Structure 1
């Protein structure tokens, strides 16, 4: 920093006879006399050309180019404000304000030289000397560029001279440790950056590109935006810097990055002059479909809002508040070359405004020959340009405010009451001999109500309340781009939302009616969750369907969450719906079919029982132990009916009784067949000479066998229900998305023991009957018992793998089917052949036919 100062000031001059001299060439500017001076270092020209250095002669100063009408309007705002204050008797009465303004030409050396000339008061840059005592310097206005303001603030801070910037917004200038005497009438970029980040997030843009000027203004501003965007969960697609030290500003590279990026939204934190090369390059590459988000440095500039830049249509950004200044337009149009104040600048302005040339001077910074000679009598009211356009006074009003703030601080200093002053022992400062640090005290505490209604004051960092208009670049009816206010961002509001935007009034450069999207990945709809892609930012993700049993009911959900146990996701997996309840009901076609089959099947054993009663005296009925056959038929009918207890909604009593009933009834049935089988064998064995088995052929023996077998099964069932009784339960694990209402058997071991006992009885009957199948008789009961037990065992052996593979109500249905099938197997194998003989072969239902040739054996068979 100090090296730059030394480059600007080549020699330290001396003051001789109240005069100062320095070989440096003084800067030309604009000044007006007064009792107190306000200094200003502002750029009227916004670009420069550095001459070539050959190290053989003294380097020539930079050549100023691009005279800006709106900047010159700001210079006139200082003169307007000073004259307005001098006319106002309530502000600094009997004191006249003067000013001394220099054009920095956006050249750092010229900015320093201008500040030095203001400080020295001599017309030449002389550090550490005050060569004019009769017009004390109050404060300095400037600079517009943050980097320049920082350097000036370091110099002015040494002397404690108040410095008021009207356009420097870098957040670094809020550091009171470095910049003790710096103030500004525009908000800090810290507020703007947060507001721009909030603007981006307000529209749901999560994939954003950032382009910043490669200086303190751009780097600090974009840093805050990036931080806030990332903190909100959005992502930055790229960050590029406009290289101010390069002739092309690195525009080709930046334009290619923007074109190739999938981000539709790009935030440009730069100045209008430095943005032009980038815009030109993007037009050349035909980059379209992008949304430009503008910082306050170019959001309202007329410099690039030209018809040749249609890609800027739809730009949205922040701008300083727009206000009106009554009488300012007339004041601007009164400027003419005959005025003595700032005559040199007026001539430059006049030549630019009317495209002419004064004969006594060359047209500066122009490559085109003049079209005519300037007369000085041209009327400014007949032309419309950025100079006399007061429809959007933003930066100009900020300069105007800076003058009024300084005047108000001087007024507060002058109106100090002796003994109540802010300094030692209540003393006050003398306005004619005050020190800079004394005015600095009043600057820190100034409060000023402007004509616009806004109150101006400074916080502890020298920043005013932050307030912005949200601007949208739209086409008017004539097809020209204009900046339209669509919202506001004001941190000074006492209540309500500090951020407001009217989305319906926006126009988008993408042609969309709705807010366009800018995302690395499309939003995941409800029912999906976001899954990050390795190596990509968090905004780049893939949508994964929620797993079974889980839902997501929000867009871009990070996780899916499980539904409550009694609910299940719908097909879209965005809401939990009640799970379907499943059990083998009578309303279900399968349940109704099985119930009807069970009821109708139970009638067959009853019909056979009636048939046996009717033909009880016939040989074939008597030959099969009539009483035991009737008991078997009754148990078979009960076997068919016990299937009904498995159908219907499981309830505690049903679950308690159904397996027990099934086990006991089937034990009765199978034990009857076992008794018949044993009695058949004993009957034939008893006919052998000397046999002692005849006493075991009595009917009482068969009844004892039945009773014993049933008692054992009953004991097993009682033990089962006492130790671990079956109970109804809601099974959510068997079938996905379904609550299976079923009976929990309590103890699976007890169930299989009960079923195994039935299998044991059937197996014994099968084995005994199998060995007795060749006993001599025309109608051998053992053969039918063998077939019936073989069928019975086959059904229940098949039931085991079938029930293990079945799910839900089909498990119950398999058991019901096994009950009906095994019962029908017994009915068919045991009784259908007898019924066929009784009904259709009555000649076979005779004693002779049953006894056949072995009469001696058949004599004992009739007692079975």
Structure 2
């Protein structure tokens, strides 16, 4: 401040012919002393030490200070009542921006609310997710830490813990805080506290061997020279700090290096500084050597300031020094505008240029609001409506060297001049991390979820703590830390890693498919067997076994069974419009034809044996065309049903996207599901009637009787198709088609084997049984049995 006022006085363009003076009062970080100093500076009491001619101390034009917020608050309340200008160079308490409470308060350091934003952006820049906060137990620490927590959470990060550290009687809580820090998985700890309680805390942390943490300091201490122990410096190595913007002050270093008690005999601070810096003591008047003490050397005045250790007297890093320099120049610029205003300034609020002998505080406040200048460091200085300058912080990195020396380096900057929320800029290559880290350390509650997984929050824990769950089939997560999975389009499916949608595999029961090839081969084989049996029957058509049960019906049944085997081939292969249109109706019609033939054969058996009874006119009453009528009538009903199906709701080929996982099934849409099940129901009805009729005729003689074989064939048919229904409904993809083909094959083979294999056995292997005598013996035995049965009935 002294240098700034000296610089203003020597500048002919600022306040020409006017000399600024000053009074300095040390408030010693005490609110009471700050109030005492404020009253002392504002009073007009006689000052015996004043060099002024009248001995009456005039009030200063403005008050610069104080440094701590706790001292500035009571000062600002009193000065605000009188609209007395106050410019603080270190108070960052956010509520000081409230012009309702503090109308005449200005400051040349950023409001602390921006510090929380700067630290939150620093956390976001290095992608730290899991943060611990230690705050001092006062208004600045508690409110600032809450603002920091809010800023961190709004950036999608989480706070692992927020603990307070009392500024008085704090040692009892240090073991507890040390244990919290040691057990926490958070590797980044923000120390939102003043320096006093941090020294014993860091000593305890160091003694407990807590390592692997990145400490972030605030403007209350940043990286302070008060940490003198080498062990603490090792703990803090690689830490980051947010500090008030540093600014170069031209020629200030030379001014500092040339200060000497002899040059400033009336400066009460220089002698104390000299004794502290050089470890000596000035001899007082009438003092003796014994009074100085044997261990304290006397100050000679030949000591050189530029030889002082930089850790104690760093003339290269001006921070609060720079802000106090700016504060003094701000007052100078306001006074310049006040005493030498132009016509434009005169029009502002009807304020005219003032006389230097009539400096009213509230008028100076008006001119302070419109101050706008650029410092020698190139920083633009002006106040907003809250009396704050644009926020700007330096990002510092504490670096400890192998030889034991240490220093903090400027590695980045946070600035709000270009954006209201601030922009952070960091040189990653300039940052040195703690020896435990070779690269940017990680601080997470849960590790990142890899692609293919989604985050599932843990109940009762912050959002940064989660479990990684693999996406369901058909869904993907194509980036890390996905909060949800994306469903693949219908034509696509997820790959094995669940991180990419790929084309679904096409599925169809084709001839190239082993299952399709086997079914087709078996059906063709049985079709060949059926043709062979037909040939055997035609070749032996005059034999009694062939003629016994309507050989024409046997031929029609064999042809129907052969078509049943062959129609199943329509179900195999790539569906087309023609195959879809024909396969179900063809299957229904030929099966109905086959079952109608079996029903007709059963009716013929009953007619043949009931007609042999005495006095029976059954054959004459029913006629000889009954079998043909049964076959034609029963088949016609199915033909009409299938024809209506083909006309009004025909089947058509389609691609089924939902049939199976990762597959597209090419299939036939059967159109009307009701008609499909109606067709099957009608076939079941014919089979049931045939089964009942054949069961009633099961005890007739074997050589003539097909009823027993028909009963077995219908039982096989019913078993197959009753099993088909649940199997068909519970399968997807190509398997419903395979189930239907298998049902056709099994039921057709069952009818073929049960009805015709016994006859083939007699024709081919037992020709001795295939003669009229054997058949007539059966008839005689049957007639005798029937007559005996009739006599028994008559006796009863």
Alignment partners' CA distance in 1, 2:507 and 2:292: 91
TM-score (norm 2): 0.88
Return the match for 1:763 from 678, 682, 688: 688
Q: What secondary structure does 2:346 align onto? A: coil
Alignment partners' CA distance in 1, 2:420 and 2:459: 44
TM-score (norm 1): 0.81
Report how many aligned residue pairs link the two structures: 776
Q: What secondary structure does 2:365 align onto? A: helix
The verdict on how the C-alpha distance between 1:337 and 1:125 changes in structure 2, with shifts beyond 3 A counting, is closer
The verdict on how the C-alpha distance between 1:778 and 1:181 changes in structure 2, with shifts beyond 3 A counting, is closer
- Deviations 1:509-559, CA, capped at 9 Å, x for gaps: 372334333334444445554444444444444445555655555544444
Alignment partners' CA distance in 1, 2:77 and 2:752: 113
Q: What secondary structure does 2:241 align onto? A: strand
Q: What secondary structure does 1:98 align onto? A: coil
Q: Alpha-carbon deviation of 1:465?
A: 0.8
Correspondence 1:636 to 2:600: no
Return the match for 2:363 from 415, 435, 438: 438
Q: What secondary structure does 1:409 align onto? A: helix
Alignment partners' CA distance in 2, 1:131 and 1:636: 137
Alignment partners' CA distance in 2, 1:687 and 1:379: 148
Contact 1:212-1:269 at 8 Å conserved across structures? yes
Correspondence 1:677 to 2:602: yes
Correspondence 1:798 to 2:723: yes
Give 1:522-537 correspondences, 5 Å limit. 522-537=447-462
Return the match for 1:339 from 246, 260, 263: 263
Alignment partners' CA distance in 1, 2:150 and 2:219: 19
1:823 alignment partner in structure 2:
748
Contact 2:519-2:741 at 8 Å conserved across structures? yes
Return the match for 2:88 from 142, 165, 176: 165
Alignment partners' CA distance in 2, 1:774 and 1:592: 42
Alignment partners' CA distance in 1, 2:329 and 2:194: 26
Contact 2:457-2:465 at 8 Å conserved across structures? yes
Return the match for 1:502 from 427, 430, 455: 427
Q: Alpha-carbon deviation of 1:83?
A: 2.1
Give the gaps of 5 or more residues in structure 1.
1-77, 859-864
Return the match for 1:246 from 149, 160, 169: 169
- Deviations 1:619-655, CA, capped at 9 Å, x for gaps: 4333443322221111111000111222234455444
Q: Alpha-carbon deviation of 1:379?
A: 2.1
Give 1:740-751 correspondences, 5 Å limit. 741-751=666-676
- Deviations 1:585-637, CA, capped at 9 Å, x for gaps: 33322122112222232122122223333333444333443322221111111
Q: Alpha-carbon deviation of 1:721?
A: 4.9
Give the gaps of 5 or more residues in structure 2.
784-796
Alignment partners' CA distance in 2, 1:791 and 1:247: 92
Alignment partners' CA distance in 2, 1:323 and 1:425: 36
Contact 2:130-2:157 at 8 Å conserved across structures? yes
- Deviations 1:752-786, CA, capped at 9 Å, x for gaps: 44323323323333333344344446454334333
Contact 1:117-1:125 at 8 Å conserved across structures? no
Alignment partners' CA distance in 1, 2:656 and 2:330: 79
2:790 alignment partner in structure 1:
none
Contact 1:116-1:125 at 8 Å conserved across structures? no
Contact 2:416-2:422 at 8 Å conserved across structures? no
Return the match for 1:657 from 582, 587, 590: 582
Contact 1:777-1:854 at 8 Å conserved across structures? no
Alignment partners' CA distance in 1, 2:138 and 2:100: 21
Name the Cα RMSD after superposition.
3.5
Give 1:139-154 correspondences, 5 Å limit. 139-154=62-77
Give 1:74-93 correspondences, 5 Å limit. 78-93=1-16
Alignment partners' CA distance in 1, 2:267 and 2:654: 100
The verdict on how the C-alpha distance between 1:134 and 1:114 changes in structure 2, with shifts beyond 3 A counting, is closer
Q: Alpha-carbon deviation of 1:425?
A: 5.3
Return the match for 2:248 from 319, 324, 330: 324
The verdict on how the C-alpha distance between 1:519 and 1:388 changes in structure 2, with shifts beyond 3 A counting, is closer
Give 1:451-530 correspondences, 5 Å limit. 451-476=376-401, 478-493=403-418, 498-509=423-434, 511-530=436-455
Correspondence 1:202 to 2:118: no
2:283 alignment partner in structure 1:
359
The verdict on how the C-alpha distance between 1:223 and 1:131 changes in structure 2, with shifts beyond 3 A counting, is farther
Q: Alpha-carbon deviation of 1:168?
A: 0.8
Alignment partners' CA distance in 2, 1:87 and 1:685: 145
Q: What secondary structure does 2:260 align onto? A: coil
Contact 2:118-2:422 at 8 Å conserved across structures? no
Alignment partners' CA distance in 2, 1:388 and 1:461: 34
1:717 alignment partner in structure 2:
642
Return the match for 2:220 from 269, 283, 297: 297
Return the match for 1:279 from 202, 206, 212: 202
Greater CA drift, 709-718 or 667-676: 709-718
